[in-house]
Structure 1
Amino acid sequence: MSWESTWSEERRALREAAAEFARREIIPSLADWEDAGELPRSLTHAAAKAGMLSVGYPEAVGGEGGDLLDVCALQEGLMSVGASGGLMASLYTHGIAVPHMIAHGSPHLIDTFVRPTLAGERIGSLGITEPGGGSDVAGLTTRAVRDGDHWVINGAKTFITSAVRGDYVVTACRTGEAGHGGISLIVVEQGTPGFTVSRALRKMGWHASDTAELAYDDVRVPAANLVGEENKGFYYIAEQFVVERIYLALQGYGHAMRCLELAAAYAHERETFGKPLVKNQVVRAQLVEMHRQVEVARTYTLEVARRHIAGEQVIAEACLAKQTSVDTAVAVSDMAVQLFGGAGYLHGTEVERHYRDARILPIGGGATEVLTDLAARLLGYA
């Protein structure tokens, strides 16, 4: 099936431009970046120059314009030729770092952080998760206290993507009472005294994405680095959850789509017992099942994205799209490894990388169990 045919002519061109960028600038070096555990800044610069970083962001803040479906077409193009989950998470960390500033930030924050990030000059990350806190955003304990023209921050964050090579972290801090009503977002720049990467984290997958624990020890940050209003941070974070979950759903079906393509090609090429694998009915049935899951995940995710663009309330549907797609990623990558046999289990083969990268998706961006409970409440089942 030609997946490209489902896009408009403009989005088809965008998808192919992204695929060609990946073939030229990413795939030849991806294995080295996976082994190194970090992407080079030269890739960020190249992606910005090619217009790959700023699609979907308003021109008024330095973006290329476009909407969520344009971003989906672009990122689908990157993954269609083998971009890894870690690369996508790291190269596009600004997808979770800048939206709060775009929606609520001052001109100072836009000019200091958003524009340079979309231009590939700075790398940002988002610091919410804490040791022992998991998905409980309302229960975070990192505290910021106002002291004249500064905030003084103490606490810790963990599982923070792009925290090692990044230039700043949009940090969720407790500035008020307990619960969701006392949280603020404050931008903390790398190099600020007391702000350190306490530990780089090695992971099962997403090897090309640097991940770290962060420590805040009496970190003094200018008051002007507060995003929007004090104690409104939880609501700002919640506003962006729909798009973040659609991005993760996109990554999920992207893994699965690529695994299906690789497995189908391998089944035609690989001969066992004197005939190609695909001559076995059980293999053909497996490929059809993989296709079915990819088709359902992709169609539903893009429909939820379309409804979000149209202004519909799709909080529950975004949770369901994420679960559908990430479950598909885990299942289809597993089936692909099985069809590849021993070759699929070797480190460095592409299906092995997709298999490892897919496993984080039911955990990150809100664990499946947490999002299922949220969807139950939103749909009136709780």
Structure 2
Amino acid sequence: MNELYFTEEHNLFRESLQDFLQKEVVPHIDKWEETGKIDRFIWEKFGEMGFFGIAYPEEYGGMGLDFFYTVILLEELQKINSGGFAAAIWAHAYLAMTHLNAEGDTRIKSEYLAPSITGEKIGCLCITEPFGGSDVAGMRTTAVKEGDHYVLNGSKTFITNGVYSDYLVVAAKTAPELGGKGMSIFVVDRDTPGVSATKLDKLGWRASDTGEIAFDNVRIPVANLMGEENKGFGYIMQHFATERLIMGINAHARAEYAIDYALEYMKERTAFGQTIDRFQALRHKIAERKAEVEMSKTFNYAIAYRLDKGEYVVKEATMSKLTATKIADEVIYDCLQMLGGYGYMEEYPMARLLRDSRLGPIGGGTSDILREIIAKMIIDKKEYKVQTETKA
């Protein structure tokens, strides 16, 4: 089945990435999980290997490769068992950098996108607010134009890379009276006066720096507006399809990792004179869960193919995130159970995997919100259209 989407070049890339992760990342994961801070050197190593430039134009140092290279990167990041590290990487590469590439002008791409590809600069995307959650249109952060600057006030929360990043891609209301139609997108340097961040203590994703960010009369040059003023809501909606599919791919990959680990354990663990992979109840549970993961992966690959061809797959990507994250949680719960008491021990991978997976149905739009979005599309026949306007 993989031959439908993955060429020999894809497979070689996967092998190279696996080797890189085992040598350069895995030895540091436990420390980063404990400290909640990823050492800066690894960002530069990712940049040197070209991993941040997979999807971006060659003129800014990228490689302009197809989306299945991104699929490989996402899958392999899940299989080193640190949801926090994986999130930090893809939030930089596919949340912050996506806006730079799509809405940034030539200067912004040169000053922010190019060094993001090399790993010299790290970015974060700031949309969610303390009182807003999934209600993007209801955000309260404002950016008031004063001469050649905008003055930014408000706060954001649950921001991956929110503490240690170098720049922030921020959504704010430039015309609050217009509601969601009065929103704009800016790039803001971390060291701009008035920007402050507080690190949040989380159940999982412990290696990543998730932060709450405050903006107190932050003066942003007009030149740091990305795209057109008051078009920000459309830009955000445009990229939601990619974000949701990414989270769906992450989910099927970590579920697959959990099953593979459980099977290896079951082949070695004995009870009542035989290995536990011989007990019918356990065999059938694994068979059922493996079927669900394969179905999820096959669906995700098909949607990735369509996304790569330029289709706006917001409905299917929303379905991917909704179903794949639910399946992953259930698979990992059952796989932890297969390990018995050892599944509950921190020295085994399942405890961390279970905690990290629980963010899937929450982040990037809760499952409850996604169900309503899907209902609007299939029952109310609501259409979400791609927005293509960008700043010259």
Separation in structure 2 between the aligned mates of residue 341 and residue 381 of structure 1, nearest angstrom: 46
Deviation at 1:359, TM superposition (A): 0.3
2:174/2:229 contact within 8 Å kept: yes
**Which AA in structure 1 matches 2:192?**
T
Separation in structure 1 between the aligned mates of residue 72 and residue 220 of structure 2, nearest angstrom: 38
**Which AA in structure 2 matches 1:236?**
Y
Separation in structure 2 between the aligned mates of residue 140 and residue 218 of structure 1, nearest angstrom: 17
Residue 384 of structure 2 corresponds to which residue in structure 1?
Answer: none
Q: Deviations along 1:35-75, whole A, 9 cap, x unmatched?
A: 11121111111111122221122213321111222200222
Residue 386 of structure 2 corresponds to which residue in structure 1?
Answer: none
| Distance change in 2, residues 1:38/1:57 (3 Å) | same
Matches within 5 A, 1:115-264: 115-176=114-175, 177-197=177-197, 199-264=198-263
Residue 15 of structure 1 corresponds to which residue in structure 2?
Answer: 14
Residue 389 of structure 2 corresponds to which residue in structure 1?
Answer: none
Deviation at 1:3, TM superposition (A): 7.0
Separation in structure 1 between the aligned mates of residue 195 and residue 39 of structure 2, nearest angstrom: 23
Separation in structure 1 between the aligned mates of residue 78 and residue 16 of structure 2, nearest angstrom: 12
1:84/1:354 contact within 8 Å kept: yes
Q: Deviations along 1:70-119, whole A, 9 cap, x unmatched?
A: 20022223333x24211111122221002122112111110111110111
Residue 324 of structure 1 corresponds to which residue in structure 2?
Answer: 323
2:81/2:352 contact within 8 Å kept: no
Q: Percent identity?
A: 39
2:241/2:312 contact within 8 Å kept: no
**Which AA in structure 1 matches 2:220?**
V
Deviation at 1:18, TM superposition (A): 1.4
Separation in structure 1 between the aligned mates of residue 152 and residue 68 of structure 2, nearest angstrom: 38
Deviation at 1:27, TM superposition (A): 1.2
Separation in structure 2 between the aligned mates of residue 107 and residue 228 of structure 1, nearest angstrom: 11
Q: Deviations along 1:294-321, whole A, 9 cap, x unmatched?
A: 1011110111111112233321111111
Residue 390 of structure 2 corresponds to which residue in structure 1?
Answer: none
Deviation at 1:32, TM superposition (A): 1.0
Question: Are 1:366 and 2:365 matched, yes or no?
Answer: yes
Q: What RMSD in Å do the two structures reach over aligned CA positions?
A: 1.6
Residue 53 of structure 2 corresponds to which residue in structure 1?
Answer: 54
1:18/1:75 contact within 8 Å kept: no
1:17/1:77 contact within 8 Å kept: no
**Which AA in structure 1 matches 2:182?**
G
Secondary structure (helix, strand or coil) at the match of 2:55 reads: coil
Residue 85 of structure 1 corresponds to which residue in structure 2?
Answer: 83
Residue 352 of structure 1 corresponds to which residue in structure 2?
Answer: 351
Matches within 5 A, 1:60-99: 60-80=59-79, 82-94=80-92, 95-99=94-98
**Which AA in structure 1 matches 2:62?**
G
1:146/1:152 contact within 8 Å kept: yes
Q: Deviations along 1:335-361, whole A, 9 cap, x unmatched?
A: 111001111111242111111111001
Residue 291 of structure 1 corresponds to which residue in structure 2?
Answer: 290
1:85/1:251 contact within 8 Å kept: no
Separation in structure 1 between the aligned mates of residue 119 and residue 37 of structure 2, nearest angstrom: 16
Separation in structure 1 between the aligned mates of residue 268 and residue 85 of structure 2, nearest angstrom: 29
1:14/1:74 contact within 8 Å kept: no
2:81/2:353 contact within 8 Å kept: no
Secondary structure (helix, strand or coil) at the match of 1:215 reads: strand
1:4/1:12 contact within 8 Å kept: no
Deviation at 1:324, TM superposition (A): 1.7
Q: Deviations along 1:160-217, whole A, 9 cap, x unmatched?
A: 11011101110110001342100001111111111111x2101010001101111111
Secondary structure (helix, strand or coil) at the match of 1:92 reads: helix
TM-score by length of 1: 0.96
**Which AA in structure 2 matches 1:344?**
G
TM-score by length of 2: 0.93
**Which AA in structure 2 matches 1:184?**
S
Separation in structure 1 between the aligned mates of residue 218 and residue 266 of structure 2, nearest angstrom: 56
Secondary structure (helix, strand or coil) at the match of 2:53 reads: coil
1:61/1:102 contact within 8 Å kept: no
Secondary structure (helix, strand or coil) at the match of 1:268 reads: helix
Residue 27 of structure 1 corresponds to which residue in structure 2?
Answer: 26
2:126/2:168 contact within 8 Å kept: yes
Separation in structure 2 between the aligned mates of residue 118 and residue 6 of structure 1, nearest angstrom: 25
**Which AA in structure 2 matches 1:86?**
G
**Which AA in structure 2 matches 1:10?**
E
Separation in structure 1 between the aligned mates of residue 56 and residue 105 of structure 2, nearest angstrom: 16
Secondary structure (helix, strand or coil) at the match of 1:364 reads: coil
Separation in structure 2 between the aligned mates of residue 331 and residue 355 of structure 1, nearest angstrom: 9
**Which AA in structure 2 matches 1:192?**
T
